[in-house]
Chain A
Amino acid sequence: MIKINNLIKSFEETQVLKGISTTFKKGKTNLIIGQSGSGKTVFLKCIIGLFEADGGDIIFDNTSLKSMNVKARALLRQEIGMVFQGSALFDSMTVEENIMFPMRMFTSASNEEIKDRANTVIKRVNLVNANSKLPSEISGGMKKRVAIARAIVMNPKYLFCDEPNSGLDPRTAILIDNLIQEITSEYQITTVINTHDMNSVMEIGEKIVFLEHGIKQWEGTNQEVFKTDNEAVTKFVYSSEMFKKIRKVYIDESK
């Protein structure tokens, strides 16, 4: 579980996060949604420690980030898996080497043990015949699978995904969403996904946090998002005619 208390972050004069508090539960896919510039990426980067927050606190399973020294923070980072928007695979390494990389860096396991573990996660994310290929030789969907495999190879407690299905076709995007949800439930990971994909919101949003101008405007589940009267959320989620119709059908059916 990750608990965020009154998180504040500014860049020079601009306050990007204005006191956000929320809780992300273990074994659930937690989504952060909001328009471009709403502070989603900064929020995610503060949680994973790429940005230092100016105020507030982040509590990882009852341990405050503030109370952690450098060594404790380094250990915490080994419990974090991250899937970047552009996958961020190392171009000079093959798919298999990319996946084995965290284990090579942080464990004293033998080469065979590392390969075994890598092959297990490769199978888990359904990557076929890609082990010896370079990132430049595989498709966008495969890159996301490799990024997910690399993120989970160390059995992380926390998984963060920054727009994991951006740039993917709708079918592959749904497959990647489902894969993340399955892995979250199977390994009991606390997963936080940064997205503005409405399919993801409807499909896997077990908890949704809606940000607007650095403020948490609303939070709830994908079922509650249909019923909410919050104007900012409905404007954002139901901006397309198709989603307006879906919402109407859902409300009519539930009456």
Chain B
Amino acid sequence: MKLLTHIGRYILMIQKTFGKFTKWNVLKNLIIREIDDLIIGSLGIVAFISFFVGGVVAIQTAINTDNPLLPGYLVGFATRQSIILEFAPTFISIIMAGKVGSFITSSLGTMRVTEQIDALEVMGINTYNYLIFPKIIALTLYPFLISFSMALGILGGYLACVSGGFSSHADFIDGLQLDFRAFHIVYAFIKTFLFALLLATIPSYHGYFMKGGALDVGKASTTSFVWTSVAIIITNTIVTNLLLT
């Protein structure tokens, strides 16, 4: 019953977010600020994680397929598939649920605790649109972040494999090009876009409707991370079943 209440309130929140619009002059500055906080601000951590995890994925694949009967290009092929299909879209999104999601929940939660949201409401502002809409728009650029992660993950895999002597340059490149299906990229970006919507709205919900004091802001951030991750995993399963089977 409680879950249904949350789902209902979440849907109403999204509906109100697209209700009465804030003045464009104000809104555009908010969108730019959110792009800076949510997308540009995440480039460093995404680059770092993608590069090194890409390297580890390639090394692990090479070590576990160290059999003369298996072709040399397998490492490049497996690295590409792991990174494009799962690591970049799904696992980076779960990391972002911690980074971006906690930021959104704690900033909105603090605004709630310090009555800043009440102040906006008293002024007659549609607080859903003013606070949540810019985050949704900023996160429509999230697929660019994931493209960046894919590129760096593969680069990390290549450098780790070739420099570590696990695979030759030619074998790795052969593997990257082998049986390439453009639809896999489409599939990855469809789910990335859906994850972006979840990343913008679920943490916003937990922050916006937060009750209590400073301690509860921390609790709300944790709850938001858990529910965003759960929603990402469930969406991933559904989308994969729908598009790849």
Q: Give B residues with C-beta under 8 Å from A.
A: 20, 22-23, 25-26, 33, 110, 114-116, 118-119, 121-125
Contacts and interface: CB of A to CB of B under 8 A. Distances in A.
Interface in A85-101: 85-86, 88-92
Contact of B118 (A50, A89, A92): A50
Contacts of A56: none
Contact of B122 (A77, A89, A90, A106): A77
A17 interface: no
Interface of A: 48-50, 73-78, 80, 82, 84-86, 88-92, 102, 104-106, 160
Contact of A48 (B20, B26, B122, B125): B122
Contact of A78 (B25, B33, B123): B123
A245 B129 CA distance: 54
Contacts of A105: 22-23, 26, 123, 125
Contacts of B118: 50, 84, 88
A84 B22 contact: no
Nearest to B115: A88
A80 B23 CA distance: 20
Given A84-B118, A84-B119, 19 more contacts: A48-B122, A49-B121, A49-B122, A50-B118, A50-B122, A73-B124, A77-B123, A78-B123, A78-B124, A80-B122, A86-B114, A86-B115, A104-B23, A104-B25, A104-B26, A105-B22, A105-B23, A106-B123, A106-B124
Contact of B121 (A50, A89, A92): A50
10 contacts: A75-B124, A80-B122, A86-B115, A89-B116, A90-B119, A91-B114, A92-B33, A104-B26, A105-B123, A160-B122
A78 B124 CA distance: 6
B122 A82 contact: yes
A225 to B, nearest CB: 29
Closest 8 CB pairs of A and B: A77-B124, A88-B115, A88-B119, A82-B122, A74-B124, A84-B115, A88-B116, A78-B124
A102 B115 contact: no
A73 B20 CA distance: 13
